[in-house]
Structure 1
Amino acid sequence: MSGCPAAAALAACRQAWEQVLAKAKRAVVFVDAACAESLHWAGGGAGGLLEAGALNVKEFSSFEAGVAEQPKAVFVVSSLLKGRAVDIIRDIVSLSRFQYCVVFTAVSHAVHLLAHGAPGGAEPEAGSQAVFEQFEEKLCQWMGNMNYTAEVRHAPLLLAPISPHLFVTPAFASLFPMTPQDLARINASRPEKKKFGSLNDLDFSSLPPELQLQIRTLVSGLNSLFECLSVREECFAIGTLSKIIAGDLANYSQARNRRKTAQNRASVIFIDRTLDLTGAVGHHGDSLAEKIFSVLPRLPGHANDVMVNMVELTALQTKDETCNIIAPGCLAQPNDPAAKALWESLMNLRQKEAVMEVRRHLVEAASRENLPIKMSMGRVTPEQLSSYIKLFKNNSKALRNHRGLLQLVLATIQALKHPQNAKWDSFLAFERLLLQNIGESEIPSVLNELLPMIKSHNERTANDYTAEDFLVLLVYIYSVVGEIKAGKELDKAEGEVKKALVQTLCDEPELSSLLQKITGEFIFQCNEKTVGMKFVPKESIETA
């Protein structure tokens, strides 16, 4: 397409949020996690809402509410106005004294129609938005007066711009391609003569209703983006789910109308994530940004940002102790040109070059503030960067002027010092060895070599792999090995690895957040006589 598509996409993101900002004046704003992440990267974050006149910004939760002095509320949600989202809005409104409520949903009215049983989700004639109008009446009922004001609007809050050329969709972080197990579940509800032979036989209408709505929501959001860009797209797809999404976009009625008048052309490629699991779990990259994302803790509610410990820069020393309670920093600094330039370097350069860029930006910032910095040549170390950053600590003006840059520098320091960073090279070496072994022998032999390395919590040292690490390695192994020949030898090897992993999980004093997500709503039960895993639903156990 002509012009700069990245700049146009970023402008489309900000344009969507301008609708919300225009309604934020004198309101308490409730934002769900996915929309908060979009705002976080698109520019402004909670600060942008406050600058637009919002009285407060709160989590979209039934445990939140407004106070008597806050008669106006704005809700910003990434989901359908159905189910849990409706329950939360009702709880908040009922506990408050609002007289004016505005609800922004990232899901179009056409998708709401589909969710409520309208065929194809087509819009009614004359542009009527019946579902939104009905929800406005509910809002007035919950506020306790039908003469109060309620508005429901669609805003395409789909994208979070991580960089000028990388956009993510936080609301679809859990959307994952289908597997053979999904095919079995779909076939279970179909008559024998109409069962699907493979995933490639599936089409949109054969998918579960929840997945249909999720796909149509994504398609609707993409259509809104392409409408802002005035794009006529040509779609390509690799993978079953990607083909379904591309096909639904091609047949989407609003998309067909847009393509008739679009001035620009673009190619859109959809790729199932299962086709690149090796890249997702491998350690072959040399990007500093990738390591920062991998080792620093996630910012709560965000899938694409991390918490940066700011104590080194902001801790205050009192007579008794160091006061180190401070909000974490983050990577997103959309309103800081210097930080944006450095973030681009962290994303695109090799680690050695990126670290040198970190030092260069830090030295230049210190020089502009007339701080007594001594430039040194040679290898850049975390200790060297820490010594430079301490110059800013007691200079409030310098801190304000370069706070975005300093957060990225601290993220770099903490990632380079993190124990997990030392494991990165170990993972890389082990993955290369696995590739060599897989090329020379069958997978049972590889699993047998892996088995002695699986150790319980009490037996592990700092250099040993955790249960979480082994799950990553197993995903890597099965992703690169290709077709696997079944047999007794494979069954035995896999059985031994499963047994060792289950025992390791049972011995863990506390499961990590990732392992808790994997185990989901189940509780592990095992003993000396148990081989393998037994899953017991929580509701069937009186005392866990």
Structure 2
Amino acid sequence: MLTTEDYTHFPVQMWERVLSKVKKAVIFMDDKCAESLHWCGGAAVLLEAGARNLKQFSSFEACGVNEPKAVFVVSTLLKGTTVEIIKDIISLSHFQYCVVITTVAHSVHLLANNVATEMEGSPVFEQFEEKLCEWMGNMNYTAEVMHVPVVFAPVSQQLLLTPMFAHLFPLLPPDLESINAKRPEKKRFGSLLDVDMNSLPVELQFEIKSLASVLNSVFEATGTREESFAVGPMSRIIAGELSNHPQAKNRRKAAPNKASIIFVDRTMDITGAVGHHGDNLVEKILSVLKPLPGHVTDVQVDMLELTSLQRTPHSQNTLAPGCLAQTQSPAAQTLWEAMLTNKHKEGVMEVRRQLVETASKEKLPIKMSMGRVTPEQLCSYMQLFKSSWGALESHCGVLQLGLATAQTLRHPGLPRWDACLAFERLLLQALGDSDFPAVLRQLLPLMKPRGSEDSTTSGSRSGEDESGPDEMILLLVYLYSLADEAQPADQDTEKEEEVEKLERELMGVLTLVLTREIELSPLVQKLTVIAGLAELVDVW
């Protein structure tokens, strides 16, 4: 009988195929593959399998004479920049044996090379093997090219993420306009629901076909015949591509297990994505701590509190950050599952219980405290481990999760989380009781720059719960997502004019908020392509 373990073990199985090739090799890996590996044991599993080193996939990397074997693990087609980087690394090194592993299936490579029909063998990979030998300088050297779908991050026993497809986003009305602009007038689509696979940009077709191939690999490995359901235009296209996958028909005939797969466009529930409704510890940790560099599924945990190093202005570069991905320690895995599945309060109490239990096992002088869990209390427990290097090393996973919890509980952004939740509830209630202009009038007083007179007289504690640009943008997205459903289609002209006037006021306030910020967050930088105050002044 099929279980969730069959699916969560699949990513590890795929990395085992990579590990079989890494003995005595230097590994070059791009960020997306590294993130998948991060949740499947990290660099340690490569070194334990015999790898000599792990390097970034970059033209500025190379190997010495005493490093004759290389393994490249990439998340892209073997075309364009990817090929140039591989060629650069090989040209600067002295390899005699090269293995290239791509997460993109050979069938997608055929499409990318304008080959419409499936061919026997893997001719694209075979041709690339010849190029590798040519770049190594000897056609008798060894080269291998293969497809291994190392795309999943097994975040928990019930949750698999695909960081490689994090940028894949549902179709929006502007996409329909750009698609129709390239089509004859008589063949233009009336809505996004009419858009088909062949009308999409070629790069997007590659992404969808790659995703369908990956899902087919999972079902093939688990002996599953799927029944697909789709909600939204993009989901319908992806479900159709999976259904029409060349290998799927034969698999479905013989597969002993059955499962349902539901594709849902994220745009069908934007309020769920931007809202602060989740009473979950991990959700808050992911929201307030800085992302781990190059990752979309993990965050940085400051580890200096577990060392004797002194904090300096540059201390963030002194010690490698901790993280949430704990795959080695059973105790850390158990704690992580509790933090992920329990409510916020229960998760925090479980962190304290685990720290107390761990310290007691190590015979550390811990004093049990009852009542509300505070970040200072958690830190006092964890600092006991500084006196024992063995205990620190043995329980590093639990300690990292404990530090992540403590740093989140005392983070200045956490009060703003609660404030946003309160605002969202007010907006939701207001939409039910009033018309849209009235709701916008209620929102305007909230959209004030931090430190303004209105905000300082409202009773906030040193402005710690005042909204910044990020929170304001999220509130606006939340409101307009709900308003699309709440507003009647046949609004009178007077109300439309009132809405336009209020929206101009909102834009003015948001602009003022942005100009008051010394440094903009990564989110706002993406939206404005502006990094800080100096650039903002230049723009205005």
Question: Please, what TM-score do these two structures have when normalized by structure 2?
Answer: 0.92
Question: For the Cα contact (< 8 Å) 2:450–2:467, is it kept in 1?
Answer: no
2:18 aligned with 1:9, yes or no? Answer: no
1:177 shift after superposition: 0.4
SS, match of residue 341 in structure 1: helix
1:521 shift after superposition: 9.2
Change (3 A) 1:324 1:502: closer
Q: Among residues 16, 31, 44, which one is paired with 1:18 in the alignment?
A: 16
SS, match of residue 69 in structure 1: coil
2:523 aligned with 1:514, yes or no? Answer: yes
Q: Among residues 466, 469, 472, which one is paired with 1:467 in the alignment?
A: 469
Paired position in structure 1 for 2:395? 402
2:96 aligned with 1:96, yes or no? Answer: no
Q: Among residues 231, 251, 255, which one is paired with 2:248 in the alignment?
A: 255
* Structure 1: gaps (5+ residues): 535-544
SS, match of residue 259 in structure 2: strand
1:152-209 deviations in Å (ceiling 9; x for gaps) = 1110112110000000001100101001010000000111100100001111111111
* Structure 2: gaps (5+ residues): 456-462
2:55 aligned with 1:55, yes or no? Answer: no
1:513 shift after superposition: 1.4
Partner amino acid for 2:243?
Answer: A
Question: For the Cα contact (< 8 Å) 1:317–1:323, is it kept in 2?
Answer: no
Change (3 A) 1:521 1:201: farther
Change (3 A) 1:111 1:510: same
Q: How many residues align?
A: 522
Question: For the Cα contact (< 8 Å) 2:327–2:333, is it kept in 1?
Answer: yes
CA RMSD of superposed structures (Å): 2.4
Change (3 A) 1:506 1:58: same
Q: Among residues 282, 290, 298, which one is paired with 1:289 in the alignment?
A: 282
Paired position in structure 2 for 1:67? 64
CA–CA separation in structure 1 for the residues paired with 2:523 and 2:535:
20
1:117 shift after superposition: 1.1
2:370 aligned with 1:384, yes or no? Answer: no
1:345-384 pair list within 5 angstroms: 345-384=338-377
1:395 shift after superposition: 0.3
1:500 shift after superposition: 2.7
SS, match of residue 253 in structure 1: coil
Paired position in structure 2 for 1:29? 27
Paired position in structure 2 for 1:118? 115
Paired position in structure 1 for 2:458? none
Question: For the Cα contact (< 8 Å) 2:520–2:531, is it kept in 1?
Answer: no
1:489 shift after superposition: 1.7
1:441 shift after superposition: 2.2
Paired position in structure 2 for 1:539? none
Q: Among residues 148, 160, 165, which one is paired with 1:155 in the alignment?
A: 148
Work out the percentage of aligned pairs sharing the same amino acid: 57
| Structure 1, 215-224 or 489-498: larger mean CA deviation | 489-498
1:522 shift after superposition: 11
Q: Among residues 79, 82, 95, which one is paired with 1:82 in the alignment?
A: 79
Paired position in structure 2 for 1:492? 501
Change (3 A) 1:385 1:175: same
| Structure 1, 490-499 or 415-424: larger mean CA deviation | 490-499
CA–CA separation in structure 1 for the residues paired with 2:500 and 2:531:
25
CA–CA separation in structure 2 for the residues paired with 1:79 and 1:322:
35
Partner amino acid for 1:93?
Answer: I
1:511 shift after superposition: 2.4
Question: For the Cα contact (< 8 Å) 1:315–1:324, is it kept in 2?
Answer: no
Paired position in structure 2 for 1:432? 425
1:323 shift after superposition: 11
Paired position in structure 2 for 1:239? 232
Question: For the Cα contact (< 8 Å) 1:35–1:78, is it kept in 2?
Answer: yes
CA–CA separation in structure 2 for the residues paired with 1:212 and 1:221:
14
CA–CA separation in structure 1 for the residues paired with 2:535 and 2:525:
17
1:186-239 deviations in Å (ceiling 9; x for gaps) = 000111100100001111111111111100000000001111001010101111
| Structure 1, 474-483 or 101-110: larger mean CA deviation | 474-483
SS, match of residue 316 in structure 1: coil
Change (3 A) 1:171 1:234: same
1:359-393 deviations in Å (ceiling 9; x for gaps) = 11111111111111122222221111111111101
